[in-house]
Structures are given as structure tokens and as C-alpha cells.
DNA sequence: CGCTCACATGTGAGCGGTAACATTATTCTA
DNA sequence: TAGAATAATGTTACCGCTCACATGTGAGCG
């Protein structure tokens, strides 16, 4: 049973043709007599032959494999994107390596190197941590690169961008309409607030309504449940005047929800909470969470489709793909 | 910039040695004079050479790649497992293909075929849907296989099994201790209840306490938030006598929580809810969810470690790896 | 001083395919 | 009916590496 691999030459012998003819049949191209083709197909079936992708890749220099780099697959945002990428890739016979960087720039660099040595045909990047110059270097020397939610000014890198700025504005505007003026924000501790579109949207919207942003109400924490929980504890103890919280993502918002509950505050009466991403859990929390919604699956899908386009026309510079956002109002505001 | 690939022979020329000596250096094995080694290393660095994994795989017949097959990466259970697998694999320079089957047996079969053609070195399977005989065939002819939470009686398939039966018993026992006797269960619609260890545990525990399981209280639904929500709606409308619900997983439980709330029932006073898996969200819901806990990351880690062991000793039959469970009592019971 | 032996290094083949070109069989044209 | 054009198939090289074995070199020994 550990019979050694059946090769294209075994099939050729069996069908009484040359290995090249077999190659023509499996790439169902070229001109092969119908009857020869049939004979070869029979031989393939009888021997249970399957071409070695490795050998094919070796000579064609294409692996039909792509890399997807995410900060943490554990975040519902990323895995919905990942599903979109995977499903789209699989439909074309491509496989996907998913890599987590944990928002660690060094990890990200290692990952890119690993992917490079695995000889993937392209990379989709959905993180924000690695230094721009390294990404540029990667795009320059290497393979097609699609970047999600980040601006990389390079002709060989293609962009898929959710309109985060607008999302943040919609969110904060909604809170202002509900009568809030003391609006806090929980942002991602891994990134400089000044570089975050969510923070820009937050500040700009406040200013547009003649509210001066209070820097003490801008709290940085890990972008997960625990981070949101703890940041809210601290924030509300130190700044009881805050009546609404806008968070970096729904994970933090759900942590904030629980935090408010544990401190005996009612949401939204005592403190409103507004998330971002609209993950599936958000409709199920109690109270359910208002959020900024966009189709994460489609983000992944579009990114993968763009990568396919880049395979076709490697030297073309593609326009960014914009994706809209929507305000979803639920009980938490 | 699209300079063609730097090969081992380029390095060899530069260092003034044969390509084989370079090979010895990059596999840092064999006997090579320290100074020759150094000279080669310098040449490698100067040329920015990186060995082609494809070519290496071609000749060694090892790809340093494994396949992880899960039902749906979107389920928090799976992605924690996936992280465990990925991190462990990456530490050894292995890459992981993650594939979703969506609990569709045909899909699963296709995936296995795809993985086979990608020539992965081994497979970790964390699903329950594909027919046993096909899995056996896969294990027989193909590569090392680690199966999570399922019994495959084959010497070449290795098992990692959480003690699900005990978990179910702990859960139901806990509900009985809290005074419940009309305990319903929400199970996975994709699988026959009679084959589910959770259902066995549920029934056995009831019987052990002289409670006859009411088959009408066993509801099948998709194992996700919406499935749990809707199943609970139906269940509680048709059977208002039910005072506690044990669910297949936390996703369903969280849906149930919300469902109870929407129907004006208090949890746990009017209806207790008990989950399974103890995902991170469960501590953050309102009320927080009692559940059966076990370390999902470790599940993935152990599975990957076992796969490595199987690479070392392909003909050895390994004992199953058991993993314990723990009852976590929170507010929902 | 000629022999063996151990160790460092080199050579050639081949993993399983595809590409490019060569060859043969067939048909068409003059 | 010879000669060219065309279609079908075969031959050879090579992708970039590792393996098995060949070769070279110097130390150790009687």
C-alpha cells in the first residue's frame, strides 16, 4: 500500500502514448485525438493517477496558493474576512495559508518571509502593524499584494478599503443626536491614535458639533473583550461624567457592556455604547449593540478577486476598491 | 527587478564551492569545514539567496505543510483550536491550510482530495460529518491523520478527544442539582442524536436521576447563534413546562439567552441556560453563561504535536490523547 | 615510503512535471 | 504523384533541489 507514486510516465506506458500526450490531456488543452484522449483518461482512472502539484508548480512557478495575513484569527472580524477569502480561493482551486501576527510587527515580518519561502502566488494583508517601508519592499520585489484597510502608496499593491472614516462619523453623530456630549472613545492600544481613521472621525465629528474632544476620554486598550471590559471600568470610575462610549470594535463594546452592568449602570440610560464591525454576536447581546456594519465576507471576497485580477495583469495598477458602511441602531444607544 | 531566481548554483559559484556543499550548509548538517561554511553563508547573504521550498519538497517528498479541516472557522470553538494548531506548526516551520467544510460531507471529501493533491504531510480533522469509511480509506492510503473528538478505529489515525460525555453529565447534573427536572436540550441538526456523546450524557444523567428523557424536549437546530435563538423560541412556546436548557455549544446558548429575554423570561429564574465549550464571549454575556470548559487552544496544540510524532514514527500506533473538562458556573444557572 | 582510512568536497542522476522543438503521419496542392 | 503544409505525437532538456556515490587530500601506520 505504500506503493510509490504513480507518475505521468506510468500513465503514458499504460495508455501506450508518450508522457507528453498525457500532460496534454490533463491540461486538457492542445490537439489530441479524441480517441487518444479517451485512452489516456481510462489509464488515468485505472491507475488512480493524480498529477503532482509540486512538480507542476516547480516548472510553472505557480503554486496556486496564497497567503492571508491577519492580526488574530480569533477576532470575529478577521474570520469572516477569512471565510470570504477562502471560499473565493477554493472555488478556483487555490489554497490559503492563514497566518496570525498578533499585531506584532516582527511576527509580521517573519510571516511574510515564511510565505515568501513557501512561494505563494500572492498575499492578502489585513493587519495594520508592520512598518510601511517593509511592506513596500515586499510589494516591490515580490508578489501581488492586496492590502485591506490600509493605504500603501505603491503601484504594485492593491487596496480594499472600508470607509472607516465615514463609519466613525456616523457612529459619533448618532451619539450626538441622542443628546450625548461627553463621548469617550476606546481605541486600539497597538496603534497611534493620530493614525487611526476611527479616531479622526471621532474628533472631527465632535469638532463639527462644537464639542472639544477631551483627550482624557480617549483610552487605549487591547482590542478584545477583556480590553474593553477593563478600559471601561477605569474610564467610568475616573470620568463619571462620560455618558457614551464609542469603541474600536464590537469586541471591546461587548466588554464595555458587561463592564457597565457590573458597575450597576444601565445601558443606554446611564451610558450608551457604540461598537464597530457589527459582528454576529452584537445582535444577541443584552442589550443588543448598536454598531457600524459592513459586509466582512465581501471584504475577503473582493480582496481575493482582486488578487486573481492581479495574477492576470501583473503590471497594471488597479484602483482601490471602496466599501460602504452602515449605521445599525440597536438597544445600546 | 524581476531578476530570475537565485539558485543554489549561483551561491556555489560565488563561494567557489559545489552546489552540494551549499546544500550541506543550508541543511546545516554533514561535515563541512567551518571556514567553508562561513564562506558559503557569506555568499548566501550577499546574494539574498533563499532555498526554494518547492524544489526541496519535490525531492524530499515533504512539504512542511499540513491541512486542518474544520466545520466552520467562524465558530469560536474552531478558531481557538486553529490557533493552537497554527502556532505549534509555525514554531517548527510548518504552514497550515485551513479548510472549512460547513458540515457538508461532500465538501469534506472534496477538501480531503484537494489537500491530498496539495501534498500536505498530514491532516488534522476537526469535524464530524464525513462518512467513516472514507476517512478510513484516507488514513489507509495516505498520510498521518489526527482526528479531534471522534473515534476512528484505525491504527494510522490518531485521536485527540475531549471528554464530552463527562462534560454533558456535569452540565445536566448541575441543572438537576439546581432543582430542575424539565430539562430540554438543543443539539446539532447535522448529526444523529443517537451518535452524539452530548446527547448520551444528557439522557444517561437524567435516567440516573430517575427522570425519563422527554424526546419532545430534544430540539435539533443549526449550531450557531440564530439556530439557538429560534430553537428556543419554538421550544418554549410549545413546552412552557421546560425550566432549563442544555445546549450543544455556547453559540446556541447565547442565542437562547437572547431568546428568553425577548420572550420576557428571566434567566435563570424562569429558565436556566447551560452551554458547552466555554468560549470567551460566555463570560461577557448578560447574564453570563454557565458552560463546560476545556482548553481549546491546547486541543489544537496537542493535535499538532501528535502529528509531529507521527511524522517521526509513521508506523507506530499512538494512544488517544484524552483531555478533561470542567464545569464553570456563572449567572445563567 | 607506500598503504589505508577518514573526512571534505564534487559529480551525476532524478524527483514529476511542462516547454520547446523534432518527428512522423496525413492531407492537400500543383 | 512529388512536395509542402498541417495535425498528432514523441524526444529532450530543465525547473532547483537532495541523494548516492565518486574523487581528492592529508594523516596515521607499519
Write the pLDDT tens digit of every residue in B287-328: 999 999 999 999 999 999 999 999 988 888 999 999 999 999
In this complex, the residue of A53, A80, A284 whose CB is nearest that of residue B117 is: A53
Architecture of the domain defined by A8-51: Orthogonal Bundle (1.10)
Answer for the pair B180, B235: CB distance below 8 angstroms, yes or no: no
- 3-state helix/strand/coil string of chain A: CCCCCCCHHHHHHHHCCCHHHHHHHHCCCCCCCHHHHHHHHHHHHHHCCCCCHHHHHHHHCCCCEEEEEECCCCCHHHHHHHHHHHHHHHHCCCEEEEEECCCCHHHHHHHHHHHHHCCCCEEEEECCCCCHHHHHHHHHHCCCEEEECCCCCCCCEEEEEECHHHHHHHHHHHHHHCCCCCEEEEEECCCCHHHCHHHHHHHHHHHHCCCCCCHHHEEEECCCHHHHHHHHHHHHHHCCCCCEEEECCHHHHHHHHHHHHHCCCCCCCCCEEECCECCHHHHCCCCCCEEEECCHHHHHHHHHHHHHHHHHCCCCCCCCEEECCEEECCCCC
**What residues does CATH 1.10.260.40 cover in chain B?**
8-51
* CA distance to B183, B185, B191, B296, per residue, from B253 (Å): 14, 10, 18, 18
The pLDDT assigned to A141 comes to 65
Distance C21 C1' – B68 CA (angstroms): 44
Q: Per-residue pLDDT for A99 more than 90?
A: no
Tell me the chain B residues in contact with residue A100 when contact means C-beta distances shorter than 8 Å. 83, 86-87
Mean pLDDT, residues B45-50 taken together: 92
Checking if the pLDDT of A2 tops 60, the result is no
Residue-wise pLDDT for A61-95, tens only, equals 999 999 999 887 777 788 889 999 999 999 998 99
For residues A297-306, one letter each, b for 16 or more C-beta atoms within 10 angstroms of the residue's C-beta and e for the rest, the string is bbbbbbbbbb
Name the percent of chain A lying above pLDDT 90: 72
SS3 B100: strand
In chain B, list all ranges with CATH 3.40.50.2300: 62-163+296-325, 164-293
Whether residues B83 and A100 touch (CB distance < 8 A) is answered with: yes
Q: How far is the CA of A33 from the C1' of C25 (A)?
A: 13
- From-to residues of CATH 3.40.50.2300 in chain A: 63-162+296-324, 164-293
The minimum CA-CA distance between B95 and chain A, rounded to whole Å, is 7
Alpha-carbon distances of A27 from A31, A37, A41, A59, B58, rounded to whole Å = 11, 11, 12, 14, 20
Residue-wise pLDDT for A172-212, tens only, equals 999 999 999 999 999 999 889 998 999 999 999 999 999 99
Is the CB of residue A36 inside 7 Å of nucleic acid strand C? no
To test the contact with chain B by mutation, choose from A47, A56, A72, A98 the residue with the greatest count of B C-beta atoms within 10 A, namely A98
The mean predicted confidence, pLDDT, of chain B is 91
Closest CB to A284: pick one of B99, B140, B255: B255
Please say whether the structural domain B62-163+296-325 has been given the CATH code 3.40.50.2300. Answer: yes
Asked if A286 and B98 come within 8 Å (Cβ–Cβ), the reply is no
pLDDT for the residue numbered B141: 65
Q: Which residue of A has its CA nearest to B289?
A: A285
pLDDT band at A213 (very low <50, low <70, confident <90, very high): very high
pLDDT at B230: 97
Residue A329 has pLDDT above 50, yes or no: yes
Return the higher-pLDDT residue of A291 and A127. Answer: A291
Percent of chain A with pLDDT over 70: 95
So what's the pLDDT on residue A211?
Answer: 96
pLDDT > 90? residue A151: no
* Count helices and strands in chain B by DSSP H and E runs: 12, 12
pLDDT higher than threshold 70 for residue B285: yes
- pLDDT of A59 > 60? The answer is yes
Q: What is the mean pLDDT of residues B26-38?
A: 85
* A56 is near strand C: CB distance < 7 Å: yes
Answer yes or no: do B225 and A100 touch at CB < 8 A.
no
Between A55 and B128, residue with greater pLDDT? A55
- What's the whole-number mean pLDDT along residues A302-328? 94
Tell me the per-residue pLDDT of A275-313, one tens digit each, with 9 for 90 and over.
Answer: 999 999 999 999 999 999 999 999 999 999 999 999 988
At A107, the pLDDT band (50, 70, 90 cuts) reads confident
- What is the mean predicted confidence (pLDDT) over B207-219? 96
- Out of 3.30.70.360, 3.40.50.2300, 3.40.50.620, 3.60.10.10, which CATH number does the structure's domain A164-293 have? 3.40.50.2300
Domain A63-162+296-324 sits in CATH at 3.40.50.2300
Q: B284 and A258 in contact by Cβ < 8 A?
A: yes
pLDDT tens-digit series, residues B84-114: 999 999 999 899 998 888 777 777 777 877 7
The DSSP letter of residue B215 is: G
B21 CB less than 7 Å from any atom of strand C:
yes
Q: Which three cell numbers stand for residue A319?
A: 484602483
Does residue A3 have a pLDDT over 60? no
Distance between B194 CA and the closest CA of chain A, angstroms = 30
Query: Tell me, what's the pLDDT at B190?
Result: 86
Q: Is the peptide bond before B268 cis (omega within 30 degrees of 0)?
A: yes
Q: Whole-number mean pLDDT of chain A?
A: 91
How confident is the model at residue A28, as a pLDDT? Answer: 80
Rounded to an integer, what distance in angstroms lies between the CA atom of residue B244 and that of residue B217? 10
Q: Which residue has the higher pLDDT, A55 or A143?
A: A55
Amino acid at each position: 500500500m505504500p506503493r510509490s507514486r504513480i507518475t505521468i510516465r506510468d500513465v503514458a506506458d499504460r495508455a501506450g502514448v508518450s508522457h507528453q500526450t498525457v500532460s496534454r490531456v490533463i491540461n486538457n488543452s492542445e490537439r489530441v485525438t479524441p480517441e487518444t484522449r479517451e485512452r489516456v483518461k481510462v489509464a488515468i482512472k485505472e491507475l488512480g493517477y493524480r498529477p503532482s502539484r509540486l512538480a507542476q508548480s516547480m516548472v510553472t512557478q505557480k503554486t496556486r496558493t496564497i497567503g492571508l495575513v491577519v492580526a488574530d484569527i480569533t477576532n470575529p472580524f478577521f474570520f469572516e474576512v477569512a471565510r470570504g477569502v477562502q471560499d473565493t480561493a477554493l472555488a478556483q482551486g487555490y489554497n490559503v495559508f492563514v497566518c496570525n501576527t498578533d499585531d506584532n510587527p516582527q511576527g509580521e515580518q517573519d510571516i511574510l518571509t515564511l510565505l515568501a519561502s513557501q512561494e505563494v502566488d500572492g498575499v492578502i494583508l489585513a493587519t495594520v502593524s508592520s512598518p510601511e517601508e517593509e511592506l513596500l519592499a515586499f510589494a516591490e520585489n515580490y508578489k501581488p499584494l492586496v492590502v485591506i484597510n490600509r493605504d500603501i502608496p505603491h503601484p504594485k499593491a492593491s487596496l480594499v478599503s472600508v470607509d472607516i472614516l465615514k463609519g466613525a462619523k456616523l457612529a459619533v453623530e448618532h451619539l450626538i443626536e441622542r443628546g450625548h456630549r461627553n463621548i469617550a472613545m476606546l481605541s486600539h492600544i497597538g496603534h497611534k491614535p493620530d493614525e487611526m481613521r476611527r479616531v479622526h472621525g471621532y474628533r472631527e465629528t465632535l469638532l463639527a458639533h462644537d464639542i472639544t474632544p477631551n483627550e482624557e476620554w480617549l483610552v487605549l486598550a487591547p482590542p478584545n473583550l477583556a480590553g474593553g471590559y477593563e478600559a471601561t471600568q477605569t474610564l467610568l470610575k475616573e470620568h463619571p461624567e462620560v455618558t457614551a462610549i464609542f469603541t474600536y470594535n464590537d469586541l471591546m463594546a461587548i466588554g464595555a457592556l458587561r463592564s457597565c452592568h457590573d458597575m450597576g449602570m444601565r445601558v443606554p440610560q446611564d451610558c450608551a455604547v457604540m461598537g464597530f464591525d457589527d459582528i454576529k454576536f452584537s445582535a444577541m447581546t443584552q442589550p443588543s449593540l448598536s454598531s457600524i456594519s459592513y459586509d466582512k465576507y465581501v471584504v475577503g471576497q473582493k480582496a481575493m478577486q482582486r488578487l486573481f485580477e492581479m495574477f492576470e495583469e501583473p503590471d497594471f495598477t488597479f484602483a482601490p476598491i471602496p466599501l460602504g458602511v452602515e449605521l445599525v441602531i440597536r438597544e445600546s444607544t
